[in-house]
Amino acid sequence: MKEFEILVKMAMNDPCILVADSDRKFASLLATAIRNVQCFDVQCAVNGQEVLRFVEERNDIACIVLDYDLREYTGFQVAEYLSATAPHIPTILISNEVDQVRQKAMAVRVSFAPKSVERILAAIDRNALIGPPKVVDARIRGALASMGFVFESKSMARVMVDLVNAAKSERNLLVVGETGVGKTTVARIIHDLSRRSENPFEVFECPKYSENAELFVAELFGYSINPVTGKSGDQTGILEMAGRGTVLLDEVNDIPASAQAILLSALGQKKYRRPGDTDLRSILARIISTASRDINGEDYASVLRRDLLQRLRQEVIVIPPLRERPEDIEVLAPIFLKKFAMQPQGRQLFIHDDAIRYLQRQAWPGNISQLNNILARVVQSVRSDTIYTVDVARELYKDSPLKTATEKSGPPFTAAAPVAIGADVMRPTGIATGRSILIEDFVQNVFEYEHATNLKDLVEEVRRELIQRSLSKTKGNVYKAERDLWGYPATSNGSLRHQIKKFGIDPKKFS
């Protein structure tokens, strides 16, 4: 937790490097060199007591450089103390006595560098908790993961950088992304990382008031006269409830047209009047907005004033859809399963790698929210401790538009050459060597067989389909169809004729 606090502090400000050396001239030279190559806040100490005081008072120290010959408490004594009490702070012992001091540094589990500016700078770059070139750092990822922000993709790594920068700012922010990508989560994290984190985070859902401008204004700004009943009564609005915190205007493209001018004026002046009041009130909160459409402005032209849009999007963060970052599913799915396991009567489930690959091939129109809902249903229906491809495919099919028998277009699976992806490859009965099919292509459509109520029925449906395909390919020649299905010259086509008769198939229709 201590490291997390340091990471958050350093995300908001330049991290601190503490240089402790009794030689003030060398300390000043080193501090200048550090500032020239890195965006650090460099502080200097001349003795061991000052170092300990700095560590006690500050929570943003990224690295401590200790001269071995420090006064009062030696550098080694301080390093030994910090190794035991503050192991989260990287510490570097420096000295001209290389061999002797290096061994002592190793003994107390701290780093060592010869007393040379270049060598010390290199040691800081290797050991500092974070530096500007390491913004997308694993430890920052871990800190954000604890706040519900996990990812593997490069596109989301860029979003993380934008997120940290946005948390430093006070300007109005627009978060853009499709439904379900996590816009509210991103806005909440920005608030939690900002200096406003001790104040409220209020969400105002604009679609609720898209048809009623008066109610929109009343709920956002508050009122002294109820716009619906006309009766007197003091009502605090969302802006006032947030105080010096953050207000999230969710889906601003649904703001009523007649309310947009009022909101624009309030944002421009940072003041507003409640309906029924004459007194001006100040807007103290930061405004973050979300939208599901593109940010080029043209898509908003028919629903949102251009000047209001410009006021709302002084800064912009764009969250890519899940289909453009399928690698994130690999870390998101286990997080969701762990969350479900912690619920009442929950149980720990594991998801097979093949099922992950299958999920990564989907379009996900509902993005992360849809993935969460699918896995929630899978957890309720699966009986084993492992989730397989067929389990997620069944639930995904329920999300797709249902088809009738006459609406089906295309085969129940797509034939393909074998692909080396482990259990993803299967060889159904009756398929010749070299004509394997991908299991995910099969299960994608297997649930369209509305007449198949059990495994036996399903096998029969698939067998009928394969026979009809082969007869079509061989133009009704039963002998060639049997050879095509079984992969060897048939000595008798009695078996296939039996199946043809059983299914009521007329080979002449394929000739």
Q: Enter the tokens of residue 243.
A: 């105080």
Q: Enter the tokens of residue 151.
A: 């990812």
pLDDT digits (tens, 9 = 90+) for 378-393: 999 888 889 988 888 8
* 0.75 exceeded by pTM: no
Mean pLDDT (whole number) for 122-132: 67
Amino acid letter, residue 2: K
Task: Please give the Cα distance from 71 to 178 (Å, whole number).
Answer: 60
Report domain extents, the chain. 2-132, 141-318, 325-448, 454-511
Query: Cβ contacts of residue 100 below 8 Å, gap of 6+?
Result: none
Least confident span in 135-144, 272-281, 360-369: 135-144
DSSP assignment of 157-173: HHHHHHHHHHHH--S-E
Task: Please give the Cα distance from 274 to 240 (Å, whole number).
Answer: 10
- In CATH, the number for domain 325-448 is 1.10.8.60
User: What pLDDT, on a 0 to 100 scale, did the predictor assign at position 246?
Assistant: 97
User: What pLDDT, on a 0 to 100 scale, did the predictor assign at position 208?
Assistant: 94
Contact 305, 264 (CB under 8 A): yes
Give the pLDDT band of residue 442 (cuts 50, 70, 90): low
SS3 assignment, position 101? helix
SS3 assignment, position 181? coil
Is pLDDT above 60 for 509? Answer: yes
Contact 432, 487 (CB under 8 A): yes
Q: Enter the tokens of residue 262.
A: 């009022």
pLDDT digits (tens, 9 = 90+) for 410-441: 333 333 322 222 233 233 333 333 333 444 45
Q: Which helix (H) or strand (E) holds 353?
A: helix 353-360
Amino acid letter, residue 472: S
Is pLDDT above 70 for 187? Answer: yes
Q: Does domain 2-132 have CATH number 3.40.50.2300?
A: yes
Contact 159, 152 (CB under 8 A): no
Contact 354, 342 (CB under 8 A): no
Neighbouring C-beta atoms of residue 209, cutoff 10 Å: 20
Mean pLDDT (whole number) for 125-149: 58
Q: Enter the tokens of residue 85.
A: 């009490």
pLDDT digits (tens, 9 = 90+) for 203-213: 999 999 999 99
Neighbouring C-beta atoms of residue 63, cutoff 10 Å: 25
Nearest to 233 by CA among 175, 280, 172, 275: 275
User: What pLDDT, on a 0 to 100 scale, did the predictor assign at position 278?
Assistant: 81
Is pLDDT above 70 for 73? Answer: yes
Cα-trace Rg, the chain? 33
Query: Cβ contacts of residue 428 below 8 Å, gap of 6+?
Result: 437, 442, 462
Least confident span in 15-19, 198-202, 227-231, 254-258: 227-231
Greater confidence (461 vs 309) lies with 309
Question: Would you say the CATH fold of 325-448 matches that of 141-318?
Answer: no
Task: Please give the Cα distance from 67 to 27 (Å, whole number).
Answer: 9
Phi first, then psi: give them for residue 291, nearest 5 degrees.
-155, 150
Mean pLDDT (whole number) for 225-239: 81
pLDDT digits (tens, 9 = 90+) for 293-316: 754 555 555 678 889 999 999 999
Q: Is residue 189 packed enough to be buried (19+ CB in 10 Å), middle (13-18) or exposed (0-12)?
A: buried
Task: Please give the Cα distance from 41 to 34 (Å, whole number).
Answer: 9
User: What pLDDT, on a 0 to 100 scale, did the predictor assign at position 165?
Assistant: 82
Query: Cβ contacts of residue 133 below 8 Å, gap of 6+?
Result: none
Is pLDDT above 90 for 113? Answer: yes
DSSP 131: -
Query: Which residues pair with residue 222 across a beta bridge?
Result: 236
User: What pLDDT, on a 0 to 100 scale, did the predictor assign at position 427?
Assistant: 30
Amino acid letter, residue 485: L
User: What pLDDT, on a 0 to 100 scale, did the predictor assign at position 180?
Assistant: 92
Task: Please give the Cα distance from 139 to 381 (Å, whole number).
Answer: 36
Give the pLDDT band of residue 498 (cuts 50, 70, 90): confident
Contact 484, 431 (CB under 8 A): no
Q: Given the structure tokens 């105080």, which residue do they identify?
A: 243
Angle of the 2-12 helix axis to the 154-168 helix axis, nearest 10: 70
- In CATH, the number for domain 141-318 is 3.40.50.300
Query: Which residues pair with residue 317 across a beta bridge?
Result: 175
Mean pLDDT (whole number) for 241-260: 94
pLDDT digits (tens, 9 = 90+) for 15-58: 789 999 989 999 999 999 888 776 678 999 999 999 999 888 88
Give the pLDDT band of residue 491 (cuts 50, 70, 90): very low
Task: Please give the Cα distance from 309 to 252 (Å, whole number).
Answer: 9
Report how far Cα 220 is from the mean position of its chain's Cα atoms: 30
Amino acid letter, residue 281: R
User: What pLDDT, on a 0 to 100 scale, did the predictor assign at position 465?
Assistant: 76
